Structure 1
């Protein structure tokens, strides 16, 4: 692409034609302009005065809009053609706006011979100017004047706007002279972009032509580079604000990465820089190939179709593809269930692939302009060395890696891997010309290349490179090289994780996880994950760890246990990657058990010796323990923002240390005693100013589990709370602490222990609008209970409003003293299940395990999360005389997995099959969506 292609071909003064109206098939069935004009004329003649006429005109235009929209929607639902629908909507609005303008100037404020200063032009701008309008988008208008506003033009504009507003249209408008438009376009890039898409609707054509000519001559000419830079920076800011990934579970169709706005950016730059009005013009200029232009049209049509469905389904300008809409969307767009994939997953995968196509197109297009017109080498000390070194079939162009000729990939297909390897090694961006060649040569990634020893060596070197694999693997994934070189990975590209826990698709989650592992190695996360940051440098199998991270979810979406299926994939792929037999065994084991540590830490009591015993029996070696810890931390942090927290870190840390002691032969029991004594001594030293006898008495209160469950700061806070309660003779003490970093509020309840205590506290929290995300139940040797809860509000934020916290305290006090009927209050409060939970349809499961603990029966409950669910579970267990000794509360998106360590009324494990079935039935009844509220009794009233 030559540099002079950036300059306009036509000389100043060339006549500017009026922009063509949207092309719509069967337009008269939507609205017939001539018939509408005739009806308006008839109304004007038959009504008595302007006010009566306006009333009848409103009725007519409302019917016109309603009928036109109904026809457009009917056609759209039949054809699923969003591109046609948005043109039809723009056409309908063109007719309405023109009719309103004619009415204002020919009937209400008739001016047979307007002066030059009284001329008006009405133009469409923005997306409406392109002739595209979603069902509930704004109507963006420019009222163009020759000079400053006159009384006449003010009357006309005011009449039009009020009429359009009364038609319930959302009108974005500006009234400016030509000079004002030019001046503001120079100063404001948003206005400049809006005027770039201007389209004539009605009025003085000379004003429109004058503005177009002056805009091209005074604004566009010579500022192409400035415009491109602004649009690229604007896109970067928008992507960062919305989350710099196109692989979110609930993407923004309009403004998200890979959405319509990115296609619009391509259109804007093409029009501004290359002076073309259609994508076909970019093909003529050689900017895009014909195949890429077809891909552009196909992507735009699908995105418009999705956006129209969103608007019609919600009845508003909704741009986010939320999960409650995705199932219906898939149905409307003709997706059906197939083996291994349900309709909604197929639809979303198609969306992600289209979104990736948009990224490919806009990257190639915009990077071409960057590379040839504004890019300068980044300053770096080693740049001179890099320019001199031999890069083989590649060369540095600016700060981008390009090819020496167009035959490099056909000459040696290994170069398809070597290209990315070289870019990573030298910290270079990828030249768009080379990327296009990569795309054109993807067919060369075949069985022979996959078996090629050098290609696999390069691949693994990139995976474990000191620079980190995240950036280059994302580029390889976007270029489709990653999925073709490792077809098993290709199967999870754009694979939706339809659980509302994971934020990303499977491939993006994996790439994010690789980046997190690299950051842990570099020490960037040492504050958040100190143990993982320490032990990662002790692992002996670093290469195996990186390969395991890459493969850990490789078998998702295959209709089975992805851990077991993934183990088989790992055993097949690792030898191909050049890993030794020992490394292969390690990778396969890590893939098979990559969920083990999180399961043991979050769903079992890490202070129960049986938990550590069972976990250690599977791990069997300190090296595997280190590897599994690091992998688990990376996996959790890569799920999405706000998933990792200090509570999870503490549980994993406790499990790690306890297991390490067992695996290194130190003796778990001896290790526990040592850690307990260490915790007690630390508290002893921290309680400065306390009498020695008070300290000693407090140290005798907690059982072993208590000292291992909390850190020093928490032990200190508990000690002060207990001391105050005893000094003041209070039977109930409640303390709250907002943890802004974790977006939770910690509630501590210290009171006398008795049956039903847990259920009453959880009930009080439910009626107060608190969502319990975690809980720890504890009993002291003095018969007092110290229960700790971590709660959020209904928006999943910290429960931090002072008035709500005060009401919560009162509710707990009333619940514990029997002054509130929890069941009736809960029924009043119970709101509808959140939209995502309704869609997830998570099956209710109750698992009862007598092998997980020597001393307790373990009950695991998995179901849809909703207000008061923990209270219902606790109450159901209390009603059948089951004592809860500890609880593990885990929320995963819209589902929960709660684990309870329980005993019967006599303090024994429950081993009777009849009793076990009774527990299961009671819980399933309590969790049934349509279950009638249980009968109130004195225990909860």
Structure 2
């Protein structure tokens, strides 16, 4: 798809419109000969000559106030409808067009692209001239409303560079933003790099053309299965190259849009003054000043002799929450002297300050990327630039996620002894992604190399390497291991080695999770990690045994009087983001299967859960605490449903059977983890999250007469990660044969259950 093909489609549409116009307004037609004072005008994408294969034709029949066109206009559209064309049409007087534009900024912006198709060219010229003059005259009053509408659209749809199903028109960084940027330029209040804007627009126009052809309809969304044929149509190597191609164009337009709107804000907040004045320079640091809301270089700054100048300028901008002027960053990318290795102390301190600057980092880092200046500071960045995450729970591509992690880490620097190590580790924690090796393993040597290059001493280099290597350790252990098992805390202390590293790891864990998605750092997860860190700290500080875990229930749990052997006590607690359900009953094989069945039958999606036993047989209790993403239910209803399940009055298997299967779904993973416990057999299950997964696993184990000593359920995005500590009902851990049989049975049940 090329601009030439779009021009051909536009010309074909023009011929159709002219023919229809001639039939409606030519000699002998109703209102015949009404050439003067009437014009058929193309607007929107048709006006710009950017018709995609399935685009509508946006046209307006404009007429002078004194010219009557109703009779002829009634016949104008029929030939185009008969030709199968989708029309978005209207009839307005010239004065009516002006009134409509004054009342609605969307109409006013759309008319900036008005193009003559047929009729009176002088009327079209008057329309264009009038609309452009009105647009410029009323720009200061219109721009706040346009900005608000743009922000709302961005919040609603998301950013093109990061959406799993990107919308090349409406998403932030899409074609709608490109059109808005052209309208901003037309106000004469701000400027936008035209070459960059048009390059990004052409990329997305080509992409949209292919998407229309692939879908056979007017759509702007790229579904996952379209990436490979899109790559082929665009002459790109593979689907990953196609994603990068599209997302880079979107990110570039996002950068231009944000920059333009920040400049608009500066224009609107500055008082008007007659005549042009040179912006006042405010000195910020050696070689760096602030001018018109952007950080620029002083007149006498010399990038060739000041290798830290780029970092100094970037840090000054980020700490003040202002822009690093793109022209300044581009000049420094071309002319700056390379930093010596290892870096001087000033450069390292500037990098740390930049990374710890908070939200101001985002715009500055974006400018460093888009101008090519980042390559001189961190060449390893190319490994993760525009790299999609394998997990759909991530809101951003890997590179943007890393910057967001730095932003989150900046709010935690006072909780650690080495804030400089924390923010650098946040920058590098995912640097190993994109290869075949586990990214934390692959990232450690890269992170060590970078830490040495920027001038950290050996101790700090070791800390950075440790944090990158084990940045997933705390959430994995906290959410998938039994806190009562001594091996759980030992899994942390044996790898971390010191309380200093533990504090850093805890802060990095929180920052990483918050930068991933809201559901990655819930109150539940935060509590589990904090409790694990608390217990590990005692071991590292004193060498004593780990203290007992904090429980979801305070003190010893007592079964209420009158609860029989096959009955359950249920309590329900509303939470800010869901509901906590606590179930207590006489412990037995299959209890957890029955409780999980109740929640699944009530359509209460489980976000996380913990289950454990208390006491000794025959008075042992089974306790489970469930966090569900549903409104609080009546405990009496849950107890009744439990009685029905236990009594066999509900066919749980049939009721929880999946309604459909996806042939492309990932196979479930069921693995025995012998290193996780000396007292029990640990079974780790990873499967697509759906109602009844926990029940299916527990019911399968109960059918083998295997007891679930404790369970640790965690749902992250579309995947359930559930860990079960298994024992024979009265004989400890399973034998290797029994463990293998249990794993095979669970795997078979999950596979058969879809």
Given the two structures, how large is their TM-score scaled by the length of structure 1? 0.70
1:400 aligns with 2:316: no
- Following the alignment from structure 1 to structure 2, what is the Cα–Cα distance between the partners of residues 582 and 640? 32
- Following the alignment from structure 1 to structure 2, what is the Cα–Cα distance between the partners of residues 427 and 113? 62
1:125 aligns with 2:2: no
Secondary structure of 1:664's match? Answer: helix
- Following the alignment from structure 2 to structure 1, what is the Cα–Cα distance between the partners of residues 283 and 43? 52
1:161, distance to aligned residue in structure 2 (A): 6.0
Q: Deviations over 1:872-914 (max 9, x none)?
A: 32233223222222222223333332111111243420132x2
1:818 aligns with 2:648: yes
Secondary structure of 1:638's match? Answer: helix
> Which of 727, 732, 735 is 1:903 aligned to?
727
- Following the alignment from structure 1 to structure 2, what is the Cα–Cα distance between the partners of residues 884 and 148? 86
Secondary structure of 1:876's match? Answer: helix
Quick check: 1:504–1:640 contact (8 Å CA) kept in 2? Answer: no
1:514, distance to aligned residue in structure 2 (A): 1.1
- Following the alignment from structure 2 to structure 1, what is the Cα–Cα distance between the partners of residues 639 and 10? 56
Q: Kindly tell me: are residues 194 and 465 of structure 1, through their superposed partners in 2, closer, same or farther at Cα, counting changes over 3 Å?
A: closer
1:922 aligns with 2:751: no
Given the two structures, how large is their TM-score scaled by the length of structure 2? 0.86
Q: Kindly tell me: are residues 773 and 360 of structure 1, through their superposed partners in 2, closer, same or farther at Cα, counting changes over 3 Å?
A: closer
Instruction: Identify the residue that residue 71 of structure 1 maps to in structure 2.
Output: none
1:177 aligns with 2:104: no
Instruction: Identify the residue that residue 646 of structure 1 maps to in structure 2.
Output: 523
> Which of 32, 41, 44 is 1:112 aligned to?
32
1:239 aligns with 2:154: yes
- Following the alignment from structure 1 to structure 2, what is the Cα–Cα distance between the partners of residues 763 and 124? 61
> Which of 497, 510, 523 is 1:620 aligned to?
497
Instruction: Identify the residue that residue 606 of structure 2 maps to in structure 1.
Output: 772
Instruction: Identify the residue that residue 788 of structure 1 maps to in structure 2.
Output: 625
1:811, distance to aligned residue in structure 2 (A): 5.5
Instruction: Identify the residue that residue 394 of structure 2 maps to in structure 1.
Output: 502
Quick check: 2:566–2:586 contact (8 Å CA) kept in 1? Answer: no
1:731 aligns with 2:731: no
- Following the alignment from structure 2 to structure 1, what is the Cα–Cα distance between the partners of residues 530 and 447? 28
Quick check: 1:136–1:316 contact (8 Å CA) kept in 2? Answer: yes
Q: Deviations over 1:210-250 (max 9, x none)?
A: 32233244x14544555666655654454344446844444
Q: Kindly tell me: are residues 911 and 482 of structure 1, through their superposed partners in 2, closer, same or farther at Cα, counting changes over 3 Å?
A: farther
- Following the alignment from structure 1 to structure 2, what is the Cα–Cα distance between the partners of residues 471 and 514? 13
- Following the alignment from structure 1 to structure 2, what is the Cα–Cα distance between the partners of residues 162 and 651? 68
Quick check: 1:732–1:750 contact (8 Å CA) kept in 2? Answer: yes
Instruction: Identify the residue that residue 204 of structure 2 maps to in structure 1.
Output: 303
1:346 aligns with 2:262: no
- Following the alignment from structure 1 to structure 2, what is the Cα–Cα distance between the partners of residues 730 and 484? 68
Q: Which has more helix, going by share of residues? A: 1
Secondary structure of 1:326's match? Answer: helix
Instruction: Identify the residue that residue 756 of structure 1 maps to in structure 2.
Output: 590
1:857, distance to aligned residue in structure 2 (A): 0.8
User: Please, which runs of 5 or more residues in structure 1 have no aligned partner?
Assistant: 1-80, 276-281, 337-342, 379-385, 522-535, 673-704, 792-797, 934-941
Q: Deviations over 1:541-585 (max 9, x none)?
A: 221122111111111113212222222122222222121221111
Secondary structure of 2:516's match? Answer: coil
1:142 aligns with 2:19: no
> Which of 857, 865, 890 is 2:689 aligned to?
865
Instruction: Identify the residue that residue 551 of structure 2 maps to in structure 1.
Output: 709
- Following the alignment from structure 1 to structure 2, what is the Cα–Cα distance between the partners of residues 141 and 870? 58
> Which of 476, 479, 494 is 1:599 aligned to?
476
Instruction: Identify the residue that residue 430 of structure 1 maps to in structure 2.
Output: 324
Instruction: Identify the residue that residue 516 of structure 1 maps to in structure 2.
Output: 408
Greater mean alpha carbon deviation, residues 485-494 or residues 459-468: 459-468
1:212 aligns with 2:43: no
Q: Deviations over 1:115-157 (max 9, x none)?
A: 98xx65332222222122334444433232323896x61x554
- Which entry has the higher C-alpha Rg, 1 or 2? 1
Greater mean alpha carbon deviation, residues 448-457 or residues 193-202: 448-457
Secondary structure of 1:594's match? Answer: coil
Q: Kindly tell me: are residues 922 and 591 of structure 1, through their superposed partners in 2, closer, same or farther at Cα, counting changes over 3 Å?
A: same
- Following the alignment from structure 2 to structure 1, what is the Cα–Cα distance between the partners of residues 601 and 235? 43
- Following the alignment from structure 2 to structure 1, what is the Cα–Cα distance between the partners of residues 78 and 584? 63
1:652, distance to aligned residue in structure 2 (A): 0.8
> Which of 491, 494, 507 is 1:630 aligned to?
507
Secondary structure of 2:290's match? Answer: strand
Q: How does 1:164-563 map to 2 (within 5 A)?
A: 171-217=87-133, 219-223=134-138, 234-243=149-158, 246-273=161-188, 288=193, 293=195, 295-336=196-237, 343-362=238-257, 376=270, 389=283, 391-405=285-299, 408-410=302-304, 412-424=306-318, 428-431=322-325, 435-444=326-335, 451-453=342-344, 454-464=346-356, 469-521=361-413, 536-537=414-415, 539-563=416-440
RMSD of aligned alpha carbons: 4.0
Quick check: 1:450–1:485 contact (8 Å CA) kept in 2? Answer: no
- Following the alignment from structure 2 to structure 1, what is the Cα–Cα distance between the partners of residues 633 and 57? 44
Q: Kindly tell me: are residues 388 and 164 of structure 1, through their superposed partners in 2, closer, same or farther at Cα, counting changes over 3 Å?
A: closer
Q: Kindly tell me: are residues 351 and 149 of structure 1, through their superposed partners in 2, closer, same or farther at Cα, counting changes over 3 Å?
A: same
1:99, distance to aligned residue in structure 2 (A): 5.0
Instruction: Identify the residue that residue 36 of structure 1 maps to in structure 2.
Output: none
